[in-house]
Amino acid sequence: MLPRVQRLARPDFTRDLDATVEEIQSLLDLAADVKRAPASYRSALAGKSIALLFEKPSLRTRMTFELAIQQLGGFALFDVGPIGVREPLKDVARNLDRWVSGIVARTFHQQTVDDLALWSSVPVINALSDMWHPCQALADMQTIQEHFGELRGLKLAFVGDGNNVASSLMLNATRLGMDFSIATPAGYELPASVAAMAESPIEMTNDAAAAVRGAHIVYTDVWTSMGDEHEAAARRSAFRSYQVNDDLLAQAAPEAIFMHCLPAHRGEEVTDSVIESSRSVVFDEAENRLHAQKALLLMLLA
């Protein structure tokens, strides 16, 4: 018999705020149970097909969603390319909801995810957009909880670009009782509209050492996100002093861990010595994408 699973109140997961704090906590508990006893859930999505619509290439997101759906007994259908170009997006959504039980979308623009949810009658999951990366943040919270036992009272420091990963991390951290600091170059801060959503005070600074000081988690991401390649040279110059290296990591708490959503540009945002150190949990994060996304699929579809 399938273990009892709490359903999300909202029909879609288009952004982090689509789940309440209580639902996130339940999801993290479920992800831990799925990881511990995967056989208990192997038929949870039997008979269900999920469409994966990817405008951006991916290793972790595609593989973990395909495996999650398969290991839960469902079937994944993958399509890559722009959404809503060959035919109107609203037509794409209304075709898919006649065939599949859910849609996972990895897009360039948040509006694409929102429009899919608007026009589709089946659940839509944001697998990444320009504004949010909620599935990554769920796996990150699971990884941190595994390592420290709890989340409340920990300090998470993000160093680098105030991008979609930073935005989702900030929302989840402040909602789950963590302190959050972020160090960015001037002009690359979190969007003001996103910072205003923080559920507790956050530290925003241009000083990487100040942000990292005393942190339990030091997190970074690539300096140039997919789609911003034309800015790569300017960004390398602006972010040069925001590299997570041994000297910067030494400012963190003695028990601090290093996190990165991957792929990493070693020698740019992080040194090889840090990402290969005993403090690095980047591959635990990557594994937990599978388990956190299984929990999300269960709470939307099981």
Residues noted as catalytic: 106, 133, 136, 221, 261, 289
At 178, which amino acid appears? Answer: M
Please say whether the beta carbons of 18 and 10 come within 8 A: yes
Phi and psi at residue 280, to the nearest 5°: -80, 130
Strand order in the sheet with 217-220: 203-205, 179-183, 155-159, 217-220, 257-260
Residue 34 CA to residue 41 CA, distance in Å, equals 7
